[in-house]
Structure 1
Amino acid sequence: MRKHAKPSGKSASDAPAGTVRVRALPVRSAVRLRRPVDIWHKPALSAVVALAIPDLTLWALGRLDLILYTSAGAMCALYAHGLPYAARARTLPWVVLGMVASLGVALTAASLVTSTALLVVCASLVAAAHKVACEATRIGPPGNIILTFVASTAFFVPQRLGQVPLHLALALGTGVLAWLVCMAPALIRPQGPERTVVARALEAAAGLLRTEAGAGGGEPAGVAHARHATASAVNAAWHTLFLVPVPTPARAAARAGLERLLVRAESALGSAGDAVGTAAGSGGREAHLADADADIEARTPIETRAAAETRATAGTVTEARPQPRTAAEACTGTGATTEADCLTGWARELRSGRPVPEAGLSAARAEELAGAAAEAPGPRRPAPGQPYGVRAVLARMAPGSPLLPIGARVVAGCVLAGWVSMAVGVGHPYWAVVTAASIYQANTTLSWQRALQRVLGNLLGLLLYTALLPLVHMGPLAMIGLALACQLGTEAGITRNYWLGSVCVTPMALLLTQFGSQVPATTLIADRWIDTVVGAAVGLVCCVLVTNRRAADRIEVALGRVAAAETIAARLLAAGPATDVDDPREIRRARDRLAGCLIELREAADVAAGEWWQPVLPEERIAHAEQRGHRALAGLVRRLSAPTLAA
């Protein structure tokens, strides 16, 4: 997929009317391994603990036939690990309720409906609801696949209506357990999630500075990609910090420290305007930061002054400060290291769990974070006028939403995959439904990659399950241990590539099937393989036939929003430095609006570029809009960083 379009010298308007382009579907990039996500172990360990407790309890009671229902609630422990604990405490109950509701629909249908074909339709509709809801709420990994896997399986489990309340109670009880497990780390590192997301922003900003320094001039694709990655990481970090409550002065001071670091990371975008036309000068950046640090003393935030007074009382602050020993200290001390090294050092400090390092800021930014303006005291808040919560979710699902074609693809693909599986005589048609539901991504190219990854991973997973059969035959306790090990392996591998995680998902799914009923291993392996191929093939056919023409329309909307945000930014920049106390707040809102619009434009362009059959995209307009937008964004960031603003 083309990541960043550049002017080609040929406008899209020069293309013949009705021209479409057919993209080649990649193979090598689909199987390439990436670096693992930094927090993969957190959902992995949470899920293992949440699954192990009920599994071992059921084993002790001799009721392993109930393991599907306890697993439904326990697997909710995989969600919301990127959220601060206060937001996680509010989000996980909704995940659990969604899981229990889906399970209730599936079990009720299984007890009342006798037609397998009709059950396939019901499972497909629920799978589409999961996909649209997870995309609209932006719940994050693992997305809809866990909900769909559990619900689709439950549609085909023999059930009596009188058993449904007990089974739902088991799922709800283990869901409460999953909530407790996911919230337990707050007792040890209450700031863990927000420190991690700020560290990511710092690392992205450091990568941008190094890329600019290596580019030497102009705007190569690497600089554009690094700038977008930095803007996205900073934007995500701000949204995460917005979710952090500040009920006490201590919590406010802790959050303010993270905000200061994030502002310093955001200042890397201030060189974007220079990178568009000329090389970014690292020496000029160091001089600017040194001048900004010199202006801090008289306008230091309250939290920083209190910390300094405490250190002075303890005898740790002297007139002659010792030579810095870490990159973080060097940033606020002698300036012996580069800005990129400073940001990387700060990120390392945040991940290590040490106290939040101090970041030198200009007077204007320090006053902003400390709430110096009497009209808006306290930590930074989102810009007003933006929908959030339930309103934002409903807006993303409104008529005309690009999510609706994806939902239509899921329904069509899952129904046809399940029916084809029934036609070839497979005894587990829900596997074909789950496979079809799992491959649908934002566009055709990503869906093709996911289908390829799913087929490859399941094939290797079946080979792994065959090798593990001697251990499976050792008894239920060994099966529980293998299932937990596969769960851990899934989370360890899936962030590197989906196919690698699928290698462990496949034997785990087969083990869960074996707990409820004894089916010959050869039958299970054959059914799984046939359903995988059928689900992937039929799903891809439906993906191509059910086109997403709204992807190109989304680009036009995003271009309009970027133009409007860039106009507002240009007006503020043209006005020059102002002394009005509301000016920094207005510039901050314009910066937030423009950054969000630029991210939305890039995402819309990437989605549309990955559609297999799509009109020619306005690449030149997109490139010009991004260049102008990032130049204006850089100006806003520099304006907020300028010491003259607080003079």
Structure 2
Amino acid sequence: MAALDTSRTTRIDHARSALAHSVSPRTWRRAFEVRAADATIAPALRVGLASAVVFVGGGLLGFQELAGLATLGALSSAFGRYEPYPRLAGKVALVGVALIVFVAFGGALGAAGLPMWAQVGVLSLAAGVASAYMNAFRLLGPGPVILVFAATGAAGYTASASDIAAATAATTVGVLVGWIAAMLPALILPLGPARLAAARALVAVGSLERVGADGVAPAQAAIARAREVLAASGRSRTEHVHARDLAALLDMADDAVELWVAEGDVTLVRDIALHERELRKLKRASVLGGVADDRSSGRSELPTPHGVLATGVSRLRSGEVRHTAVRVLLASAASGWIAMAVGVEHPLWASMGAIAVLQGLNFTHTVQRGIQRLLGNIGGALIAAVLLAASLGYWQMVAVVVVLQIAAELMVLVNYGLTTLAVTPMALLLIGFTSPISPDAGISRVVDTLIGVVIGVVIAAVTVSRADRHHLA
């Protein structure tokens, strides 16, 4: 019995320290940190292109009301940035299928006329499923919140079976456009992701002279990641002469690390880093001087790439995936019902705030996302209020939404708060395509987000794993 009490005390103490971390000044200061990010322009333009094509097509064909839902389908192109194209094709398709299913599901909820408290509960269950699905298949990007947002948007639009069919069809068209936009670069730069991964590995190797022994593990991990990306680029690509050059270059990078560790010799480290700039050029292939004939290490055999479907299905059974899904379900439901209790206009926005926060990799990341989302929503709500008060026409709204989408994609790896600053007005304008929305909605968005962030962080703290000790550093 005493041992049990000690275990409970340890968990309580761990949760208490997590909550203390969430309100410490240092934690809030870190939320304003801006990280360095590379290769962000191409993915951002890819998503902007997909959204623009859908908007223009919808406007010209007279389906302006459905353009917002179609654009949500096109946002499938925002997932899987930097993935090798064969794998990207599958992952974007998995996201697209999920978006179509969630729009149809949300449309059915709207047509059924369920009361709001029931909608919150049902969509929270769906959010748990979305979390498990996204995490199991490693569908990195906007996360499960986009599925719930799509379902919520469809619920607000539909009132009949024909509305459900129209919303689902519009989303399907958007998904197809998003998939094509995501895959178009493969025609020009088939080994683009592998070249970028190799360039990042060379940066990590080149940093050894500056950071010392602390840089060995990151450099080795970056090299292994580059090999894995190259292997997953497709059999025809790995047999290509440039792919063989990239494999040999990664062998040299491994040799450089080993030589530096064994003898402190930086000659090869410096030499290998010189290829990084060439790999970042928009070229199908490069002449990598002194690399093609260097295969002395014998490491050029690439790892067998994992299958996305098989690996994802196996992860669905993992305790970590289930644990996160349950946390998302609880936080979403609690946030939505509390928002209803205090009388806010859009309680499902509170649920989505909690879902977004719980996408954090660990508790420290969860708190940072919460702070950044709250502050970004405040600024974004002000921008949205101005835009909504301006009573923009369809084409003006299209231009603004596309610009905001590109801005969000440019900032997503830099600072989540800056991303939210763009996402908040964009989301409100997208809602405006399917149903009327007033400038006051910005205020409601802030209140809902505050509720969702607080509930999400509290549930994350109460359920934090004792193995998660990042916040204690």
Distance 2:237 2:247 in 1: 16
Q: Does 1:526 align with 2:443?
A: yes
Q: Which residue matches 2:258?
A: 270
Q: Does 1:463 align with 2:385?
A: no
- Structure 1 unmatched runs, 5+: 1-15, 213-222, 275-279, 287-338, 370-378, 553-607, 613-618, 620-647
Distance 1:610 1:406 in 2: 17
Distance 1:76 1:228 in 2: 33
Secondary structure at the aligned position of 1:496 is classed as coil
Q: Which residue matches 1:382?
A: 304
Superposed counterparts of 1:337-486, under 5 Å: 339-353=268-282, 355-360=286-291, 364-365=296-297, 367-369=298-300, 379-382=301-304, 388-399=307-318, 401-440=319-358, 441-469=360-388, 472-486=390-404
Deviation per residue, 1:269-302 (Å, 9 max, x gap): 425755xxxxx522xx54xxxxxxxxxxxxxxxx
Which residue of the other structure, out of 228, 240, 263, is the alignment partner of 1:239?
Answer: 228
Secondary structure at the aligned position of 2:207 is classed as helix
1:426 CA displacement: 2.1
Distance 2:471 2:35 in 1: 23
Secondary structure at the aligned position of 1:142 is classed as coil
1:433 CA displacement: 1.2
Q: Which residue matches 1:259?
A: 247
Paired residues of 1:70 and 1:174 also in contact (CA < 8 A)? yes
Q: Which residue matches 2:50?
A: 50
Q: Using a 3 Å threshold, how does the CA distance of structure 1 residues 529 and 68 change in structure 2: closer, same or farther? A: same
Distance 2:290 2:130 in 1: 43
Which residue of the other structure, out of 408, 412, 433, is the alignment partner of 1:490?
Answer: 408
Paired residues of 1:104 and 1:168 also in contact (CA < 8 A)? yes
Paired residues of 1:257 and 1:358 also in contact (CA < 8 A)? no
Distance 2:185 2:179 in 1: 11
Paired residues of 2:372 and 2:417 also in contact (CA < 8 A)? yes
Letter paired with 1:434: M
1:527 CA displacement: 1.3
Distance 1:454 1:248 in 2: 40
Distance 1:122 1:103 in 2: 14
1:127 CA displacement: 1.6
Q: Which residue matches 1:181?
A: 181
Superposed counterparts of 1:155-170, under 5 Å: 155-170=155-170
Letter paired with 2:81: H
Deviation per residue, 1:114-143 (Å, 9 max, x gap): 121111112112222222222222222233
Distance 2:329 2:156 in 1: 18
Letter paired with 1:529: V
Letter paired with 1:236: R
Letter paired with 1:382: T
1:465 CA displacement: 2.3
Secondary structure at the aligned position of 2:146 is classed as helix
Paired residues of 2:327 and 2:459 also in contact (CA < 8 A)? yes
Paired residues of 2:223 and 2:254 also in contact (CA < 8 A)? yes
Paired residues of 2:357 and 2:369 also in contact (CA < 8 A)? yes
Letter paired with 1:438: A
Q: Does 1:538 align with 2:455?
A: yes
Moved over 4 A (4+): 16-21, 271-274, 359-363
Deviation per residue, 1:377-399 (Å, 9 max, x gap): xx52339xxx7443322332325
Q: Does 1:610 align with 2:470?
A: yes
Q: Using a 3 Å threshold, how does the CA distance of structure 1 residues 356 and 402 change in structure 2: closer, same or farther? A: farther
Letter paired with 1:512: L
Distance 1:262 1:152 in 2: 46
Q: Does 1:281 align with 2:264?
A: yes
1:363 CA displacement: 5.2
1:468 CA displacement: 3.5
1:362 CA displacement: 5.7
- Structure 2 unmatched runs, 5+: 1-5
TM-score (norm 2): 0.88
> Which one has a bigger Cα radius of gyration?
1
Secondary structure at the aligned position of 1:31 is classed as coil
Distance 2:237 2:458 in 1: 56
Distance 2:234 2:61 in 1: 43
Deviation per residue, 1:422-467 (Å, 9 max, x gap): 1222222221111110001233222111110000001111122234
Paired residues of 2:36 and 2:414 also in contact (CA < 8 A)? yes
Distance 1:254 1:391 in 2: 29
Paired residues of 2:47 and 2:78 also in contact (CA < 8 A)? yes
1:536 CA displacement: 0.8
Q: Using a 3 Å threshold, how does the CA distance of structure 1 residues 59 and 493 change in structure 2: closer, same or farther? A: same
Paired residues of 1:260 and 1:359 also in contact (CA < 8 A)? no
Deviation per residue, 1:519-549 (Å, 9 max, x gap): 3212x12211111111111112222223435
Distance 2:259 2:117 in 1: 59
Secondary structure at the aligned position of 2:31 is classed as helix
1:359 CA displacement: 4.3
Q: Using a 3 Å threshold, how does the CA distance of structure 1 residues 419 and 28 change in structure 2: closer, same or farther? A: same
Distance 1:135 1:447 in 2: 15
Q: Using a 3 Å threshold, how does the CA distance of structure 1 residues 359 and 436 change in structure 2: closer, same or farther? A: farther
Q: Which residue matches 2:207?
A: 207
1:48 CA displacement: 1.2
Q: Using a 3 Å threshold, how does the CA distance of structure 1 residues 90 and 444 change in structure 2: closer, same or farther? A: closer
Letter paired with 1:505: V
Distance 2:237 2:64 in 1: 47
Secondary structure at the aligned position of 1:382 is classed as coil
Letter paired with 1:266: D
Distance 2:127 2:89 in 1: 25
Paired residues of 1:453 and 1:499 also in contact (CA < 8 A)? yes
Deviation per residue, 1:586-624 (Å, 9 max, x gap): xxxxxxxxxxxxxxxxxxxxxx11367xxxxxx9xxxxx
Secondary structure at the aligned position of 1:381 is classed as coil
Letter paired with 1:381: P
Distance 1:271 1:128 in 2: 48
Paired residues of 1:402 and 1:548 also in contact (CA < 8 A)? no
Paired residues of 2:76 and 2:92 also in contact (CA < 8 A)? yes
Letter paired with 1:92: V
Deviation per residue, 1:179-238 (Å, 9 max, x gap): 1112212222222111111111111111123322xxxxxxxxxx32x2232232122212
Distance 2:91 2:419 in 1: 25
1:498 CA displacement: 0.1
Deviation per residue, 1:124-170 (Å, 9 max, x gap): 12222222222222222233333332223334444312322232122
Paired residues of 1:120 and 1:418 also in contact (CA < 8 A)? yes
Letter paired with 1:228: A
Distance 1:450 1:414 in 2: 16
Q: Which deviates further from its counterpart, 445-454 or 18-27? A: 18-27
Q: Using a 3 Å threshold, how does the CA distance of structure 1 residues 58 and 363 change in structure 2: closer, same or farther? A: closer
- Equivalent pairs counted in the alignment come to 453
Paired residues of 1:76 and 1:96 also in contact (CA < 8 A)? yes
Distance 2:184 2:133 in 1: 27
1:368 CA displacement: 4.9
Paired residues of 2:384 and 2:425 also in contact (CA < 8 A)? yes
Q: Which residue matches 2:428?
A: 510
Letter paired with 2:31: A
1:487 CA displacement: 0.6
Q: Does 1:101 align with 2:107?
A: no
Q: Using a 3 Å threshold, how does the CA distance of structure 1 residues 174 and 196 change in structure 2: closer, same or farther? A: same
Letter paired with 1:199: A
Secondary structure at the aligned position of 1:34 is classed as coil
1:63 CA displacement: 2.9
Task: Provide the identity percentage.
Answer: 26
